[in-house]
Chains A and B, each alone.
Chain A
């Protein structure tokens, strides 16, 4: 067996060569014989009843395949949690981009004109566009009270603490929608034949989500639906639930036409019609002692879910559990809800509710510091969770996490104290104001509470007669390194070279359901299962007397060959087993919310230019504890990429809404960071390990999305003295807040100048 460790080494990315040569195959690179192109006719009002559909007679409609709601063979819904979202609207529409009709044609130019030649008349109904309107329930647009889901978390006697408090500190915070903006748009190809049923190739994160949705929609049994993930050009949560919709559309057209159908959105359709990060509002009311200790508080967290329930209840759950940050709350009451509005449903996006509630928490901590009269670093020190203490859901922290050490190290790495002092002095003059901001936070890895138990994931590992091993999982690669990390774990477990291990293309006809590729669960949960399944291969060979405990790859190959001479296959499967000490109460929202948390302290250094009102991030330190780092280069890439997206969330990316529709649905006017906009993002790890993950790994993918926005806005407050409460924070917001104050300051001096 080899001595060199594969886990922890930066081995080459499995599909890397194909990506750097342009050979990697994405769905739009695939063409099937006789293939048609599909397009979607969508509503153009936010809410109303469909009255009449007119087809412009100048179009040769008999050349087109047309699918309406009535053509759906199964149930007209996108099956997910609640089956409330139709695949095609038939009587009413509930958002301005709701799919109504589907068209297919071999000529894409004709198709585009045909979509424009369908006109639909509506009887408009009054829409709801904001959280406030939805709360007022005027009108009710979903269920009995516009509420998809609400949670209540209670710990201790909150009502008793207010009278003990030296300070009662309130704050309200807002975050906007954010577009995932994966560079590859949503796309699928569907094919149908009566014998094999529906096959879909797509850009997606969760093959079995699509599989489940297509079974319901097409009225087909499990073995007549096959979903294959193609190389996927970014996802970030944006390809978690929406692929079920677009795959459903392509499948319906394929069933009707009996020809393969490709639907690939262009950028404008992708941005206007698919999911975004839930907008949020958070209210904090916190009781604090004279010396800055949190005694307790109330947190109200509300998210805008859009027109249908989709994943809002789960996003809300994560936002709820993260709302108290990495702090010890002796008592707390957290009330949260996800509300309906007449916009396209909001959905999964890296962080999944946590970036929203943590933005509020970390801005509020700076506010508390100011009121109490201590520094932002000190307020955090006095309230950090310690091992043995409990979180807001009363989960005992069993890890030996030392947040004081993380904070001290992050402050040192960012030269915080010296810079803060220097900037305070330099900011007295000139048009550039500089500031430093801190955010401390945590991110739970894996599904919340009992989620992993319900998922009941299975992974497989198989070995061939050539001694090569293949990992069988539905976990998808979309840039984050799934293929590489899972192969590293299998190679390490079997003592084989990394090159001898490959990963199967996620194909529901080939791989078992290892759960969705979400929630920072792949390395930790699926990785651990891969490790067990790989060990199962070794045990099979050992028990068959074909392999000793110590072996070379050549001996392993010989053993596989002998085994397969008498057996049909050499496969091993592993199923998720919940750790014994995990207790979760779904009713009271109490208990062990996550198998492990990743922890972080980030520090941002910013410049606010009082001439242009632009904020520039000059330096960014990202220090985190994510358990064992399985692949240093990939891990660092997760952090830099997440921080960049979060800088966009904080300072650039504004979705402009008009009557429930995004109107800046282009890369030209929805601005994500370019290579010229970002600071050096300096990444540092601490490795504590984790009992539950493969080699002690925890989740990493979402963590870096949580901290940068509050760190940056805290730094902007440090620079300007203004307490901004809302992101994205654009130059016009700074102008509005700072402009008049500056003009007042400037007026007398300019008068003096001309006198």
Chain B
């Protein structure tokens, strides 16, 4: 929650969220995170730090992995946004979810939506990542529960299964 200027003139913002066109009134400096969670009720995107360190609020914006707490909503105008809720049909999603469950990649679950989006983003760009590439690819997403080992294992397992197909 950042304080906004007192006389917050709202403006109209249009973008696509999870394939659906959305048009809403928002202060231009409102965080994309708050618009997703409060206005669009997409609460799978989580706030952890509010300053772009933890990655819990990760979403895909025109295919890029971004921290939605650092994106003023005006900047998302015209963009195509994908949140965890919009991923169910993605080809990588089921293998990743399954592997996270099998390997223990989710403990408290609060970093998990962001972590899975980061993993999707990684595997889209590097279908067969090395161990070092997995570490590097997830380094923007903090997890306090797992010590990451089981997350690395889950991502590697999902990648292997996908390649085997």
B-binding residues in A (CB < 8 A)? 10, 12-13, 15-26, 28-29, 108-109, 112-113, 180-185, 231-236, 266-268, 478-481, 633-634, 636-637, 640-645, 666-668, 672-676, 678, 680-681
Contact = CB atoms under 8 A, between A and B. Distances in A.
Given A637-B150, A675-B135, A28 B108 contact: no
Given A674-B139, A676-B136, A233 B1 contact: no
Contacts of B148: 640, 644, 675, 678
| Best-buried of A21, A23, A29 by chain B (most CB within 10 Å) | A21
Nearest to B109: A19
Given A22-B84, A183-B142, A681-B147, 19 more contacts: A12-B101, A13-B106, A16-B100, A19-B109, A20-B100, A20-B106, A22-B85, A26-B110, A112-B3, A182-B144, A184-B46, A233-B46, A234-B110, A267-B48, A633-B102, A637-B107, A640-B148, A644-B146, A672-B144
B64 interface: no
Contacts of A672: 142, 144
A21 B44 contact: yes
Given A633-B150, A668-B51, A21 B110 contact: no
B54 to A, nearest CB: 6
B26 to A, nearest CB: 12
A109 B101 contact: no
B142 A667 contact: yes
Nearest to A676: B139
Contact of A108 (B1, B37, B85, B111): B1
B63 interface: no
Nearest to B150: A637
A644 B147 contact: yes
A716 B10 CA distance: 56
Given A183-B48, A668-B51, A24 B109 contact: yes
Contacts of A22: 43-45, 83-85, 112-113
B74 interface: no
Nearest to A270: B49
B4 to A, nearest CB: 5
A183 B54 contact: yes
Contacts of A232: 108
B17 to A, nearest CB: 14
Contacts of B6: 113
B48 A184 contact: yes
27 contacts: A16-B100, A20-B97, A20-B109, A21-B85, A22-B43, A22-B44, A22-B83, A23-B44, A25-B43, A26-B110, A28-B43, A109-B8, A112-B1, A112-B3, A182-B144, A183-B54, A183-B144, A233-B109, A234-B108, A267-B48, A481-B107, A633-B103, A637-B107, A642-B147, A674-B139, A675-B151, A675-B152
Nearest to A116: B3
- Among all A-B residue pairs, the 9 with the closest Cβ atoms: A22-B44, A233-B110, A479-B108, A19-B109, A644-B147, A479-B107, A22-B84, A640-B147, A667-B53
A638 to B, nearest CB: 9
Contacts of A185: 47-48
Contacts of A479: 107-109, 145
A675 B119 CA distance: 13
Contacts of A678: 147-149
Nearest to A110: B6
| Best-buried of A12, A236, A675, A676 by chain B (most CB within 10 Å) | A675
Nearest to B117: A22
A464 B150 CA distance: 36
B150 A234 contact: no
| Best-buried of B8, B102, B142, B147 by chain A (most CB within 10 Å) | B147
Contact of A183 (B108, B134, B149): B108
Nearest to A674: B139
Contacts of A478: 108
| Best-buried of A22, A185, A636 by chain B (most CB within 10 Å) | A22
A263 B142 CA distance: 24
A267 B103 contact: no
Given A113-B6, A183-B111, A666-B51, A21 B1 contact: no
Given A109-B3, A183-B108, A668-B53, A636 B150 contact: yes
Contact of B109 (A15, A633, A667): A15
Contacts of B129: none
A17 B101 contact: yes
B116 interface: yes
A627 to B, nearest CB: 20
Contacts of B146: 637, 640-641, 644
A23 B97 CA distance: 13
Nearest to A620: B147
Nearest to B4: A109
A643 B147 CA distance: 7
Contacts of A645: 144, 147
Nearest to A648: B144
A746 B38 CA distance: 60
A595 to B, nearest CB: 26
A675 B146 CA distance: 10
Contacts of A181: 144
Majority-rule SS of B interface residues = loop
B95 to A, nearest CB: 11
B147 A13 contact: no
A109 B141 CA distance: 28
| Best-buried of B37, B83, B145 by chain A (most CB within 10 Å) | B145
Given A184-B108, A636-B150, A16 B101 contact: yes
B84 A21 contact: yes
B138 interface: yes
A76 B136 CA distance: 50
A581 B96 CA distance: 49
A636 B104 contact: yes
A524 to B, nearest CB: 19
A183 B139 contact: no
A602 B61 CA distance: 43
B145 A20 contact: no
Contact of B88 (A21, A231, A641, A681): A21
Contacts of B103: 633
A366 to B, nearest CB: 25
B127 interface: no
A21 B97 contact: yes
| Best-buried of A10, A29, A180, A183 by chain B (most CB within 10 Å) | A183
Contacts of B140: 674
A13 B139 contact: no
Contacts of B123: none
B76 interface: no
Given A641-B145, A643-B147, A20 B101 contact: yes
Given A21-B84, A674-B139, A480 B107 contact: yes
A577 B4 CA distance: 57
A481 B110 CA distance: 14
A633 B102 CA distance: 8
| Best-buried of B45, B54, B149, B151 by chain A (most CB within 10 Å) | B149
A14 to B, nearest CB: 11
B149 A640 contact: yes
A28 B110 CA distance: 11
A680 B134 CA distance: 13
Contact of A236 (B134, B144, B150): B144
Contacts of A268: 50
Interface string B17-53: 0000000000000000000010000011111111101
A702 B65 CA distance: 35
Given A21-B84, A22-B113, A633-B104, A667 B46 contact: no
A636 B152 CA distance: 14
B56 interface: yes
Nearest to B132: A676
Contacts of A641: 107, 144-147
A234 B144 contact: yes
Given A184-B110, A266-B50, A640 B150 contact: yes
Nearest to B48: A183
A10 B150 CA distance: 13
A143 to B, nearest CB: 35
